[in-house]
Every structure is written in C-alpha cells, then in structure tokens.
Amino acid sequence: MPLSSELTLASSPRAAADARRWVSDICRRLERTDLVECAELGVSELVANAILHATAPYKVRVRGTASHPRIEVVDGSTRPPEPPSRLETDELDLLLTFGRGLSIVAQCALALGATIESDGKIVWFEPAPEMSDADSAEWVIDRLDQPTAAPPRSSGVETTVEVHLAGIDVPLYTSLARQYSELRRELRLLSLSHQSDYPLAGDLTSMFATFESQFPESFHEQVGDAATRGLPRVDVTFPMAREAGPIFVTMTEMFDVADAFCRAERLLSLARTPRQRALHNWMLGELVHQLDGARSQPWKGSPRSTTSSTSQVG
C-alpha cells in the first residue's frame, strides 16, 4: 500500500532523536522491524547533517510502500550534499557520533541520493535490512530546478492555436500538479539509478519532458496567479502549436499506465485520485479537440464523493 507521512522537526539538537523515534515507530507499524536499525541510524545522520550544515525548515518523510519504503530529509538549503566517501574510522566510533557525511548512510542503504529544488533539497535513502561493511549503495543526485530542454522543433512553419481552458478547478489542479511533480521525480530517480531494472522509467521521463515543453510560460503564470489569489476557478488562454495534438493523445494513455504502475506498487508515487484523473483527462481532451478546431468546453467538475485522500501510515 502506498504511504506518505511527514514530520516537521525543530531546529534543535533533539531533532535527530525525534526523527529516529518517529521513523522507528513507522517501520514497526509497517511490520518492517528488519529495517529499524538502518532506518534509525541513517535518518539520525541525515538530520544531524541538515541541522549542522543547512537551513530551516527541516522535515523528515517516509514515502513509498511497505515493501519499498524511502526515508527523506528535507531542508531549506540548495547546496548539494557531499557524496559519500569511504571512512577509516573505528566502527564503534561511527555509531556514537553524527554529522560525518553520507558514508554511514550509504552503509545503511540499498540506494541513496539527493534532489535539489528551487527552495531547498531532499536527501533520501532506502533502508537496508542490515548494515553493510562498505558504502556500496549507488549515489544519485538530481536537480529539479534545471529547465528541461525543449525537443528540436520542426524546420517547417508551425501554426499556433489560441487554447482556452475555462473553469479550471484551481485547488484540484494544484493537487494534481503536486502529484505529477512527485511522479516525475520518482521516474527520474529510477531512470538515473535503476535504468536496467526499470527501462520504462527512462522512456516515460523523456515523454514527460516533451509533454511539458508544449506548455508556454503564460499557462503556468495564469494558473499560479489564480492559486496565489485563492481563486476557486480560473479561465486561461495561451498559444499552443497545432502539431502538438498527437502528443496529448499519447500522454492520456501514458498517465493511465503510470497510475497502474503506482497502484501495483511498481512505482513509489501515489496514483491520481478519481477527481484528479477526471480534471486531467478533461484538460488533455480539450487540448486535443481545440487543436483540431473544436470549440472550448468548460470544466463541469466531477462528484466529490469520488475524492480519495492521500494515504497515510496507520
């Protein structure tokens, strides 16, 4: 079952102990007592590093599934962490001290890495059943604040269409955007660190990059402004290349494929809720139809009884 749980930490020396107890409790509730030792040691090290070298806010999260949990420590610094380096210090000394980089975490992890965002970073690891003698876990670093390169445009003359999306549910779209961001991050991490095991992750990452490049900045600005102002609905108008229609047809199917992988726990992200999927399909359908010459049809919403909340541990 997918899970998502978060704890905000105080900027104090007790933060590591609080995180350790919280993560240990979650592992036991998930019936993953085999992960407790490595989860406790790894999260203690990451939180200590964050308090010593980064800035607030500090948070610890448990994401993924019971079979593949991932522990994340969030801070407000965009400075990348130092990759793991081999330590020669006595093992007992390592267990009694914190703040020594990521080498200890690497010994406690099946995989680890960091995601650098525009307003901070996430350092994560997948706890191992037992601590290894060597820091052999593969280190992955990703920058989500780097702009995605747009695919080459055709040398021919492209025609644009003024697309009008009427009545977008702003809070629902905002939640959909967060879900999409988590899915994109998950796929990118898999494509970077487990490409041989998850070849589809690389393909979907490339397809999503092409999909994103079709939207002009004016679309994001209009929706973002509506969210900032607290508007419940917004109408947006923006130009789009007429030739982009087939991309949205394909992506409608690909998002359903991604949902199926999430529900089957082959991806750690959550699938779209029924209402998120309904809004998404309406938007993609409107893009396809309007680029083909049809008139704009406003979003009419979906029954609120289909809403499903984010899964929590416990």
User: Which of 91-105, 174-188, 230-244, 259-273 is least confident?
Assistant: 91-105
In eight-state DSSP terms, residue 142 is E
The pTM (predicted TM-score) of the whole model is 0.67
Q: Is the confidence at residue 86, as pLDDT, over 90?
A: no
Task: Give dist(CA 57, CA 151) in Å, integer.
Answer: 36
Give the three-class secondary structure for 258. Answer: helix
Please tell me the distance from the alpha carbon of residue 52 to that of residue 75, in angstroms, as a whole number.
Answer: 11
Coil, helix or strand at residue 304: helix
Does an H or E element contain 63, and which? strand 58-65
The domain made up of 2-143 has a fold known as Heat Shock Protein 90 (3.30.565)
Average model confidence (pLDDT) across the chain: 82
Q: For 230-246, how does the pLDDT look when each residue is reduced to its tens digit (9 = 90+)?
A: 999 999 999 999 999 99
* pLDDT above 60 for 170: yes
Residue 67, exposed/middle/buried by CB under 10 A (0-12, 13-18, 19+)? exposed
**Rounded to whole angstroms, what are the CA distances from 256 to 139, 222, 246, 249?**
30, 27, 16, 12
pLDDT of residue 147: 45
216 CB-near residues (< 8 Å, 6+ apart): 238, 239, 240
Q: What is the mean pLDDT of residues 274-301?
A: 96
Structure tokens at 12: 């104090």
Q: Tell me the pLDDT tens digit for each residue of 253-278.
A: 999 988 988 888 777 678 999 999 99
pLDDT value at position 184?
A: 86
CA distance 301 to 303: 7
For residue 16, pLDDT beyond 80: yes
What stretch(es) of the chain map to CATH 3.30.565.10?
2-143
